[in-house]
Every structure is written in C-alpha cells, then in structure tokens.
Amino acid sequence: MQVIENLKVKEKAYIEKLKNGLTIIIVPKAGIRKKYVIFGTHYGSNDSKFIVPGENEVTEVPKGVAHFLEHKMFEQENGRNSLDVLSSLGVNANAYTTNTHTAFLYECTDNFYEALDEFMDYVQHPYFTDENVEKEKGIIGQEIMMYDDYPEWKVYLNALEAMYHNNPVKLDITGTIETISHIDKEILYKCYNTFYNPSNMCLVVCGDFVPEEILKEIEKRLINKNSSGEIKRIYEEEDESIVKPNIEVKMDVSIPLFTMGIKCKPANQTQKVKKDIAISILLNMIIGESSTLYQDLYKSGILLNSPSYEFDFTNEYAHILISGSSRNPQEFYNKLNEEIKNLKTNGLDKENFERIKKKLYGEYIKEYNDVSDIARMFLNDFMNGINSFEYLEEITSIDINYLEQVLKNDFDTEKMVFSVIKNS
C-alpha cells in the first residue's frame, strides 16, 4: 500500500489500487467510535455523451441517467430495499449525485461489517426491470417538479444558464420530466456497466481500522470484475464568454433572492488546489462576515444575513458563485462590483490577507476532526485528481502577489452574471 502523510494534522492515508483498477483509500482514526464508508463512481450528470471502452461509436443517453441510476441501486431482486436493510441495522445510509460523480455511503458505530455486506452487495448488483424503471419515473418526476418550485434552486440554476452556452453543468442534475421519460432498463444497464466498473471507482473508509485488515475485508466482498479501460467523455466546446449578464424571474418569495456568478477559465492540474485556496481567501476578504463590504451592506439593510459563496471547478469548467437574499439585489450587485474594482486598483490589505489565510488554514485542520468530513473530502478530491493533503501544503505557498494576480484574472466583471428572483 502507498502511504501518504501530513505531519501538520498527523494523519496518514493508505492507498491501494487493486488489479481490477479500484482505488481504495483508508484513513485510520484510532480511538474514534464512528466509522464511515463512501463508495463513488466517476460518473455524474455531465456524462451523457461518451464512448464505451472497446467500442467506436458515440453513445448519447438522456439527461438525468446518473441520478436515476443512483435512485435505482437500492432496489434488489429479492424484493428488499437496501436502504431499509441498512437502517434496520442502525446505520445511517445515503447516496448523492453531482455533476461529476455518484456516491453511496453509510456511517455507524455498531454493526459495521453486517452493514458492509449489504453495502458492497447492492452497489455491485443492480436490478432493473421495465416495471421498476417506470415506477421510478413517477417518483423522480415529483422530485423534479418540487425543485422547479424551489426558488433557492431556481436562482442558482438560472445563474449557470446565464453563464454557460453548452457545458452540461448548466443543466439540472435530475434531468427533466421529458428527458427521464426516455430512460429504460437497457440504458441503465449500459451506463452501469460502463461507469460502475472498478477502474472508474474509488472507495474511502475512515475510522478506527488497521489498514491491512480492513483492506482484506473489502477485497473479499468484491465481485470478480476486470478493469474495462478508459471511458472517453465527450463535451461540447464552451466559449469563454457568458450567455447573458442578467436574468430575473418572479416566484413566490418574501424577500428577493440572488446568485451572482463569475465564469472562470479552468486551471491546469498543477494549479487547481492553489487557485481554489486563493479564490476562497479572496471571497472571504471581499464579502465574508468580517469584510468591510458585508458590514456596510448589513448595517444599511441591503443584506439581511451573510451570503454563501463557493468556487466550483473541474477540468472542463470553473465558476464563482455568491448567493443570498436582499431587499435591494441590484444595489448589492453594484456595491460588489465597486469593491472588486477598488481592490484591483488599490491592492489588497496585507494584514487582512494574513488573517483570512490563518482562518482558512484553521478550517482545513478542523476538517480532520470528523470521519465523515475526511471520507467525503478524500473522495471528492480524488474525483478531481487531487490529494486532499495538498490543501494544507499549498496554502503556505500563497502570497499576496499571487492573490492579486488571481483577483485580476478570475474576478472579471465582463464575465459576471446576476440571477434574481423577486416576488410575483
């Protein structure tokens, strides 16, 4: 097993790549009762056009298949629902789908190995029939309609649609009622057999384990399946420009909601972590709770609470999002624009930079206190080609000159979009 270590948090990660291509990451936490397992496949809602290993023709499937598959994985041929089985063992099980990957997980303090039996079994044994696929369309259709009526989700999606011309990140992860109507069991099996191959998957386990012992337990529960080779994913070319700067819709909201987005150029692999940290520091400095801008907007009543912010990135796309509620969204947008231009012109405050950098470093350290945070972090970063320990190393290399360079290049007001939802 390969062992990677970070002395700052005194943590080790044991990494084993099996002959079938499956990557297993074990992060031992001695003396911790809670145990956490997450099994992910590098298959998300963006992957609807691809070439199956060994084939030459392009396969295109309806939008929403990855999420549909996640829903269907729990239903077993013996009539049981694996989620119910795991719940009966007293473990907390769940699953989720993102733009880039799908993950199945559970956490517990007791009955870990009994739960592992069920967990490894259902992820490796799909069961789809015409009947259960049709039934699921109704369930997911209700979920889609629910999200269509959810203003916080709509304002976010509208911002992505205003930013992206072709990239599928702008589409709802669930698909639409129209797209899921074309899903059948043959499509589900094809996507499962393509993307749920061990060579396209990663399993992370965190808790009080001896790495060699838990590795053996996982291996003996794996079915015999060979590595399939590389899946060629096909995405349409994306122009660097935005689609439109503003989008406003009316829904039933008591206070207007907003999402401000900035379309960025994806960083190369060696710069991903450094750029992610830099943008996190900048967002804290610009609109974090301790920022001058936030304090002014809060005191004047333009902002009612602290907005959320994030930087989302892969090899194909990258964007900054700032979301919240405001009595006067346009005033918030104008003030934010002014602040970004002001910082570009006058430079960043070095003392404030050092303080925010220390704050962020403390947050990275804190993530290693909880087994669920650790496991999800390692899986998410693995799917992005990143070793999670890199954040603790890279943050020390960031200086104010690099930060000002990122501010200039990535906080481009020409690539800003502003999505607003007001009361109908």
**Catalytic sites, residue numbers:** 70
What is the spatial distance between Cα 157 and Cα 421, in angstroms, rounded to a whole number? 11
Strands 23-28 and 11-17: antiparallel
CB 312 within 8 A of CB 319: yes
Task: Residue count of the chain, please give it.
Answer: 424
- The residue behind tokens 């690539």 is 415
What is the spatial distance between Cα 126 and Cα 106, in angstroms, rounded to a whole number? 18
Token readout for 192 is: 């499962």
- The 3-state secondary structure of 43-81 reads CCCCCCEEECCCCCCCEECCCCHHHHHHHHCCECCCCCE
What is the spatial distance between Cα 160 and Cα 171, in angstroms, rounded to a whole number? 8
The CB density around residue 272, as the number of other CB atoms within 10 Å, is 21
Q: CA torsion sign, 271 to 276 to 281 to 286?
A: positive
E strand or H helix at 372, and its extent? helix 371-383
If you ran DSSP here, which 8-state letter would residue 33 be given? -
Q: What is the dihedral of CA 297, 299, 300, 301, to 10 degrees?
A: 80
What is the spatial distance between Cα 235 and Cα 166, in angstroms, rounded to a whole number? 8
Token readout for 299 is: 């005191």
CB 395 within 8 A of CB 277: yes
Nearest to residue 2, comparing CAs of 169, 185, 211? Answer: 211
For 306, counting Cβ atoms within 10 Å of its Cβ (0-12 exposed, 13-18 middle, 19+ buried), the class is middle
The CB density around residue 187, as the number of other CB atoms within 10 Å, is 18
What is the spatial distance between Cα 203 and Cα 24, in angstroms, rounded to a whole number? 5
CB 217 within 8 A of CB 38: no
Q: 54: phi > 0 → left, psi -120 to 50 → alpha, else beta; which?
A: left
